[in-house]
Structure 1
Amino acid sequence: MPRSGAEARRRLQQAALELYQERGFDQTTAAEIAARAGVNERTFFRHFPDKREVLFDGEADLRATLMQAVAEAPGSLEPFDALLCAFRESARNLENHRPSSDPRWKVIAVTPALRERELAKHAWLTDAVAEALRQRGVGAGTADLAARTGWAAYQHAVQAWVDDPARGLDARLCQAFDDLRALSAAALPAPESG
């Protein structure tokens, strides 16, 4: 039986991931997760409000990390560059946890309820990044647009890295933001002469 709360939480997460892979998310109960982890169901609910949240632990930490990274980016940076700094910071953590993240991503990809939850979490993180930009003095509309567009570039880079990890996430992030800038520049109408 796990002695510490942190150990119980880790075991619950591992048990949930194993059961989701074996049986599927919908066919797994919180009681089964608790039993596999060697704790009771009450302990499960002390750590997680529902069986979806087992896979999304750490989102509050990621939110705080992203907001702090945006706040600490050099003041001279434009919004996209401040976001790229923040995303590169979080990418290091994601790369360090790749082996444990791969099974999680696979379970989410095949489970509609988890994909929906992931989208809600992404919206929450996007709002946090927009707030961090506003705190840097970026106007509300610009901050919102930059956060949404930047988050889309971040997700694009992460998915490309998940699909083909041969090229690092940092390189993919830089490429996604370069591509976004190129798309934006290409979309601008040519100035009128005369």
Structure 2
Amino acid sequence: MARWDPNARERLERAALELFVRQGYDRTTVAEIAERAGLAKSTFFRHFADKREVLSGGDALVRLLTDAVAATPPGAGPRQAVEAALAAAGERAFTAERHGAVRERQQVVAANPELTERELLKREALATALTAALRERGTPDPAAGLTAELALLALRAALAAWTARPGQDFTGLALAELAALCEAAAAL
């Protein structure tokens, strides 16, 4: 194998997902993932701590959302900031090209209690990071935390609808979900 392997991380992620779908998460080893990707097992561990991490995407979604919040113009309110974050997710993370892989990942996670628990911990970390990003823009508590939670509820609902029906626009789904949630919260 080559000393330097281009796109090793992506190849490992793709190989892992293919194997998890085909033979199950529990029955797939790190060695099999590395072999499927055409890489050494040691290369796997340069990119991921364990096989659970290969599904996590690292902190990419956290960075994507928080960067979008931070880049929102200064006069925009917290809702506009999270709308920008949801739009960024639709433009970069939940694209038509990635639909099949995202759907398969969701199925693998849902079929494994250990991964489902890890996903819940990741959601909590995402809520914390999004709340902090809103606070940094000057959104006070409890509005920062509430806005972050509403955005994440919209993200989850949009993701469920988007993975169930190919061809839909994730951003449109997410913004519609956020609008419905904001309307429901205002009616309380």
Q: What TM-score, normalized by structure 2, do the two folds share?
A: 0.89
Instruction: Give the structure with higher Rg (CA).
Output: 1
Is contact 2:162–2:173 with CA below 8 Å preserved after alignment?
yes
- Distance in structure 2 (CA, Å) of the matches to 1:118 and 1:138: 27
Residue of structure 2 in register with 1:72 after alignment: 71
Partner of 2:119: 118
Q: CA deviation at 1:181?
A: 2.0
Q: Is the 8 A contact 1:2 1:8 kept in 2?
A: no
The equivalent residue for 1:191 is none
2:4 matches 1:4: yes
Contact 2:30 2:51 in 1 (8 A): yes
CA deviations on 1:57-87 (whole Å, 9 max, x unpaired) are 2x32322221121112122322122111111
Residues 126 and 151, structure 1, Cα contact 8 Å, conserved in 2: yes
Structure 2 partner of 1:132:
133
Give, as a single letter, the amino acid of the residue that structure 2 aligns with 1:29: T
Q: Secondary structure of the equivalent of 1:140?
A: coil
Aligned ranges 1:40-189 → 2 under 5 Å: 40-57=40-57, 59-93=58-92, 94-95=94-95, 96-187=97-188
What residue in structure 2 maps to residue 190 of structure 1? Answer: none
CA shift for structure 1 position 3: 5.0
> What is the CA-CA distance between 1:46 and the residue it aligns to?
1.4
Counterparts of 1:12 and 1:173, CA distance in 2: 29
- 1:166, distance to aligned residue in structure 2 (A): 4.1
Matched to 2:9, the amino acid is R
Q: What RMSD over aligned residues (CA atoms) do the two structures have, in Å?
A: 1.8
TM-score by length of 1: 0.86
Between 1:46-55 and 1:97-106, the stretch displaced more is 97-106
Does the Cα contact within 8 Å between 1:2 and 1:38 map onto a contact in 2? no
- Runs ≥4 in structure 1, deviation > 6 angstroms? none
Measure how far apart 1:183 and its partner are: 0.7
Amino acid in structure 1 at the alignment position of 2:13: Q
| Unaligned ranges ≥5, structure 1 | 188-194
CA deviation profile, 1:9-67 (whole Å, cap 9, x unmatched): 2222222112111211111111222222233322211111000111112x323222211
Distance 1:26 1:33 in 2: 12
Percent identity among equivalent residues?
A: 38
Post-superposition CA distance 1:152-179 (Å, at most 9, x none): 1111111111112343112211211121
